[in-house]
C-alpha cells in the first residue's frame, strides 16, 4: 500500500493550492466529457463521506472521461469558480487506494479553481472534471498520475509513474465566486485606483501623496450576495501593498489560490486578520471588491508584522469577497 506516502503528496498540494455560490451560467461547456469507462465505477455511501469504491480492474481510458455517480442539487460550477472537494484517488490497474482527503468537516477540503488547466495548475484533472458539475454531486473521472499532479512533479522515489492510470471519485462540496461579480462603483479621492485584468487580477495605482492617517474603505464593486458578519469565515482573493513603497507584500492571486479568514481581528482570534481589514470585511457583501487603506494603528501591533511589512507602514488591501463558508 502506498497510502501514507501519497497522502503526503495530496496534503502538499493542499498547502500549495474562500456561502454564497455563483449563479449558473447560461451555457456551461464541460472540459471532460462522459465516458463508458468512468461509468463502470460504483461509489457507495453519502456524498461528503468516505466512499466504498469498486470498479473492474484494470480500467484504462485513452483520454480523461467522467461519469456522474450521484447528481447534485446545488449550483453549477462555472469556469473560474472556486470549489471545495473531497477526493479519493485509486490505482486503476489494481484498485488500490493511492490517497484521499480527510472527509472531515474539521479539516480543510481540497480547494481548486474549475476550468481547463493552465501551466502550473495544481490537481489539473480535478479542476477540469468539476467544471459544470453541480454542488452536492459525486463524480468519477479517469486519467493518469500526470493528469492529476502534472508531469514530472512527483518524487521518483515514490515509484509512481506519470502514465500510471488512476480513477478519482470526487465529491463537490461547495462552490464560490472566482472573482468580484457585482456592480462597478465610481472611484474615490484619497484611495488607490484599481483596474482588473480580464481574469480579475487587480492592478493597483497608489497616489503620489502622503498616506491618510485614518482607516479608509471604498467599495469598487458592489456585490449582491450575503452580508459578512463578524467571525464569518470569508473566502477571498486579496493583494496587500505598502503605500510608501508602492510594492506588493502579499497576494493570493500571485499564489493562485483563494484564502479563507474569519472576519475578526487577530487580536480576538489568532486566525483572524489585521484590525482594519476585519472592520472593512464586516458588513461587506459577497461579490464585492473593496480597497482598504489601513494606517499603522489599525494594522500590525509593534513587533508582530511579517518581515515584508516594515514597522509603521500604511497598508493597502484590494479584496474580492467570494463567499462565506458554512
> 284-317: per-residue pLDDT in tens?
999 999 999 999 999 998 888 999 999 999 999 9
- Mean pLDDT within 215-236: 98
Same domain assignment for residues 266 and 126: no
Least confident among 58-62, 237-241, 254-258: 254-258
- Mean pLDDT within 104-108: 92
Range of the domain at 290: 183-324
Same domain assignment for residues 115 and 190: no
Neighbours of 255 (CB within 10 A): 12
pLDDT of residue 157: 74
Q: Tell which wins on pLDDT, 87 or 257.
A: 87
Q: Tell which wins on pLDDT, 105 or 122.
A: 105
pLDDT of residue 257: 87
Listed residues 159, 176, 193: the one ending a domain: 176
- Mean pLDDT within 121-138: 92
Mean pLDDT of the chain: 90
Same domain assignment for residues 159 and 196: no
How many residues are present in the chain?
A: 326
Q: Tell which wins on pLDDT, 52 or 4.
A: 52
Say how far apart CA 126 and CA 72 lie, in whole Å: 17
The model's confidence at residue 102, banded by pLDDT at 50, 70 and 90, is very high
List pLDDT tens digits, range 145-169.
999 988 887 777 777 889 999 999 9
pLDDT at 14 over 70: no
Q: Which parts of the chain are beta strand (E)? A: 42-44, 52-54, 66-70, 82-91, 97-100, 110-113, 138-144, 165-176, 183-184, 193-196, 202-205, 216-222, 233-242, 247-251, 259-262, 289-294, 315-324
pLDDT of residue 23: 43
- Mean pLDDT within 114-130: 81
The CATH number assigned to the domain holding 211 equals 3.10.50.40
pLDDT at 3 over 60: no
Q: Enter the C-alpha cell of residue 316.
A: 493597502
Residue 207, judged by CB atoms within 10 A of its CB (0-12, 13-18, 19+), counts as middle
Greatest extent of the chain over all pairs of C-alpha atoms, in Å:
68
Same domain assignment for residues 172 and 228: no
pLDDT of residue 90: 97
pLDDT at 25 over 50: no
Listed residues 150, 176, 202: the one ending a domain: 176
Listed residues 161, 176, 191: the one ending a domain: 176
- Mean pLDDT within 1-23: 39
Say how far apart CA 142 and CA 62 lie, in whole Å: 9
pLDDT at 21 over 50: no
Amino acid at each position: 500500500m502506498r497510502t501514507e506516502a501519497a497522502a503526503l503528496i495530496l496534503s502538499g498540494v493542499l498547502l500549495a493550492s474562500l456561502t454564497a455560490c455563483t449563479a449558473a451560467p447560461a451555457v456551461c461547456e464541460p472540459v471532460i466529457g462522459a465516458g463508458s469507462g468512468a461509468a463502470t465505477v460504483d461509489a457507495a455511501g453519502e456524498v461528503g463521506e468516505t466512499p466504498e469504491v469498486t470498479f473492474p480492474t484494470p480500467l484504462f481510458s485513452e483520454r480523461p472521461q467522467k461519469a456522474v455517480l450521484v447528481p447534485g442539487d446545488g449550483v453549477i460550477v462555472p469556469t473560474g469558480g472556486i470549489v471545495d472537494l473531497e477526493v479519493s484517488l485509486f490505482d486503476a490497474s489494481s484498485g488500490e487506494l493511492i490517497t484521499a482527503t480527510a472527509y472531515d468537516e474539521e479539516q480543510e477540503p481540497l480547494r481548486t479553481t474549475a476550468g481547463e488547466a493552465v501551466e502550473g495548475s495544481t490537481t489539473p484533472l480535478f479542476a477540469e472534471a468539476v467544471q459544470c458539475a453541480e454542488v452536492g454531486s459525486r463524480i468519477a473521472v479517469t486519467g493518469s498520475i500526470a493528469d492529476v499532479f502534472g508531469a514530472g512533479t512527483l518524487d521518483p522515489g515514490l515509484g509512481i509513474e506519470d502514465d500510471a492510470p488512476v480513477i478519482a471519485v470526487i465529491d463537490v462540496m461547495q462552490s464560490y465566486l472566482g472573482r468580484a461579480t457585482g456592480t462597478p462603483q465610481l472611484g474615490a479621492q484619497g484611495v488607490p485606483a484599481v483596474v482588473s485584468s480580464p481574469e480579475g487580477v487587480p492592478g493597483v495605482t497608489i497616489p503620489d501623496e502622503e498616506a491618510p492617517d485614518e482607516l479608509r474603505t471604498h467599495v469598487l464593486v458592489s456585490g449582491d450576495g450575503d452580508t459578512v458578519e463578524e467571525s464569518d469565515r470569508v473566502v477571498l482573493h486579496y493583494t496587500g501593498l505598502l503605500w510608501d513603497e508602492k510594492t506588493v507584500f502579499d497576494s493570493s492571486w500571485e499564489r493562485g489560490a483563494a484564502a479563507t479568514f474569519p472576519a475578526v481581528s487577530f487580536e480576538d482570534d489568532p486566525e483572524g486578520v489585521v484590525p482594519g481589514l476585519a472592520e472593512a470585511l464586516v458588513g461587506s457583501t459577497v461579490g464585492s471588491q473593496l480597497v482598504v487603506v489601513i494606517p499603522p494603528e489599525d494594522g500590525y501591533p509593534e513587533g508582530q508584522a511579517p518581515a515584508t511589512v516594515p514597522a509603521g507602514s500604511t497598508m493597502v488591501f484590494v479584496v474580492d469577497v467570494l463567499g462565506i463558508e458554512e
